């Protein structure tokens, strides 16, 4: 039986992670062609003439503590929107693979699938049963080309949460065949948070979190992709270095610090 890692595009495991210029705090890196002068009006701690940390390790550690997971299980993304894009690009071969959606649901899954050239299989929520998750239909219609199913809970736009037992039944049904992406953008407004149990029991579940909603930080663009460490490491290889701006790193850490004290 194949594993979740086998479902990734093979290019990804062959991809050598980009090696940025060594990051030495406090020094100007001429090897990265940084200018030695700060721009006018720059009152930032480290200087905006400097590239940010290529992978924001300090920020990842703080976010991991916020969500109660190990740091190597979390990839910092520019909003959870970018995590959706990364997942589709990492699993779906253009023109060959597909994602599964359960409408009515968040529109960006479809948008990113179209950009990647991934097909979309739509299996609607059971409207007459209060928008329940069609677990059996998803498992029955799954094909070798199906890679990801997006489960948004609480769901945008219907607002209902799916029982953990149903999401887990889906993960079990797709083990070795597909990945359940649990978009938890609104989970802080729900009665409970299934993150830890879900990740402990299933290697084919990836959870998306964002600071945009419950913490009112949409302008910072900070999302997290959380999953088993080997999967997160491989997907992270496709993320460009230096992509999370210094100003956002500092702002997130300040806001999370204030949140922890409130
Ligand atoms: C269900 C859901 N997921 C993800 C997002 C993306 O949020 P962000 O990119 O700000 O993290 C949204 C935004 O409205 C959303 O409704």
Residue 154 CB–ligand 1 contact under 6 Å: no
Q: 14 to each of 41, 43, 242, how far by Cα in Å?
A: 43, 41, 22
State pLDDT tens for residues 24-74: 666 777 888 889 899 999 998 888 998 888 888 999 999 999 999 999 999
pLDDT reported for residue 1: 59
Residue 4 CB–ligand 1 contact under 6 Å: no
Using the mean position of ligand 1's atoms as its centre, give its distance from the Cα of residue 81 in Å. Answer: 6
Q: What total of structural domains would you count in the chain?
A: 1
State pLDDT tens for residues 195-232: 899 999 999 999 999 999 999 999 999 999 999 999 99
Q: In which band, very low, low, confident or very high, does the pLDDT at 152 lie, cut at 50, 70 and 90?
A: very high
Using the mean position of ligand 1's atoms as its centre, give its distance from the Cα of residue 186 in Å. Answer: 9
Nearest CA to ligand 1 atom 6: 81
Structural domain containing residue 110:
5-261
Residue 219 CB–ligand 1 contact under 6 Å: no
At residue 156, does pLDDT exceed 80?
A: yes
Using the mean position of ligand 1's atoms as its centre, give its distance from the Cα of residue 27 in Å. Answer: 37
State pLDDT tens for residues 174-198: 999 999 999 999 999 999 998 899 9
Residue 90 CB–ligand 1 contact under 6 Å: no
- Mean pLDDT of the chain, nearest integer: 93
Q: Where are the alpha helices (DSSP H) in 31-185?
A: 57-67, 79-91, 108-116, 135-141, 164-173
Nearest to 98 by CA among 86, 114, 82: 114
Chain center to CA of 236: 10
Residue 154: phi and psi, rounded to 5, are: -55, 145
How many CA atoms are closer than 13 Å to the CA of 19, on its beta-carbon side? 3
Nearest CA to ligand 1 atom 12: 185
> Can you tell me the distance from the alpha carbon of 86 to that of 77, in angstroms, rounded to the nearest whole number?
9
Nearest CA to ligand 1 atom 3: 185
List own/partner pairs for 212-221 with CB under 8 A and 24 or more apart. 212/79, 212/80, 212/185, 213/185, 213/186, 213/188, 213/189, 214/186, 214/188, 214/189, 215/255, 215/259, 217/251, 217/252, 217/255, 218/79, 220/248, 220/251, 220/252, 220/255, 221/78, 221/79, 221/82, 221/248
> Can you tell me the distance from the alpha carbon of 162 to that of 260, in angstroms, rounded to the nearest whole number?
28
Residues 235 and 12: beta-carbon distance below 8 Å: yes
Using the mean position of ligand 1's atoms as its centre, give its distance from the Cα of residue 83 in Å. Answer: 10
Kindly state the tokens that stand for 161.
Answer: 């949460």
Q: CA angle 64-70-72, nearest 5°? A: 95
Whole-prediction pTM: 0.95
Q: In which band, very low, low, confident or very high, does the pLDDT at 261 lie, cut at 50, 70 and 90?
A: confident
3-state helix, strand, coil in the chain (%, to 5): 40, 15, 45
Q: Which atom, in ligand 1's list, is nearest to the CA of 83? A: 9
Query: Which domain CATH number covers 104?
Result: 3.40.640.10
Gyration radius from the chain CA atoms = 19
pLDDT reported for residue 227: 98
How many CA atoms are closer than 13 Å to the CA of 252, on its beta-carbon side? 30
Mutate to test the pocket of ligand 1, among 67, 75, 81, 110 (most ligand atoms within 8 A of CB): 81
């Amino acid at each position: 039986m194949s594993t979740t890692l086998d479902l990734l595009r093979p290019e990804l495991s062959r991809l050598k992670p980009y090696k940025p210029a060594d990051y030495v705090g406090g020094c100007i890196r001429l090897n990265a062609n940084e200018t030695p002068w700060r721009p006018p009006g720059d009152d930032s701690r480290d200087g905006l003439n400097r590239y940010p940390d290529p992978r924001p390790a300090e920020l990842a550690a703080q976010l991991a503590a916020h969500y109660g997971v190990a740091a190597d299980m979390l990839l910092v993304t520019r909003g959870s929107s970018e995590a959706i894009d990364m997942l589709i690009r990492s699993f779906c071969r253009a023109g060959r693979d597909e994602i599964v959606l359960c409408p009515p649901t968040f529109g960006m899954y479809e948008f990113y699938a179209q950009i990647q050239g991934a097909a979309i299989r739509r299996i609607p929520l059971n409207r007459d049963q209060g928008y329940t998750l069609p677990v059996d239909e998803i498992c029955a219609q799954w094909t070798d080309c199906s890679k990801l199913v997006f489960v948004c809970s609480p769901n945008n736009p219907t607002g209902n949460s799916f029982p953990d037992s149903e999401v887990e039944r889906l993960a079990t049904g797709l083990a070795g065949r597909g990945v359940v992406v649990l978009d938890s953008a609104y989970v802080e407004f729900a009665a409970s948070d299934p993150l830890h149990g879900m990740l402990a029991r299933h290697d084919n579940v990836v959870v998306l979190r964002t600071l945009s909603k419950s913490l009112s930080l949409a302008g910072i663009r900070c999302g997290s992709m959380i999953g088993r460490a080997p999967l997160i490491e491989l997907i992270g290889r496709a993320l460009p270095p230096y992509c999370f701006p210094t100003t956002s790193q500092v702002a997130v850490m300040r806001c999370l610090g204030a949140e922890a004290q409130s």
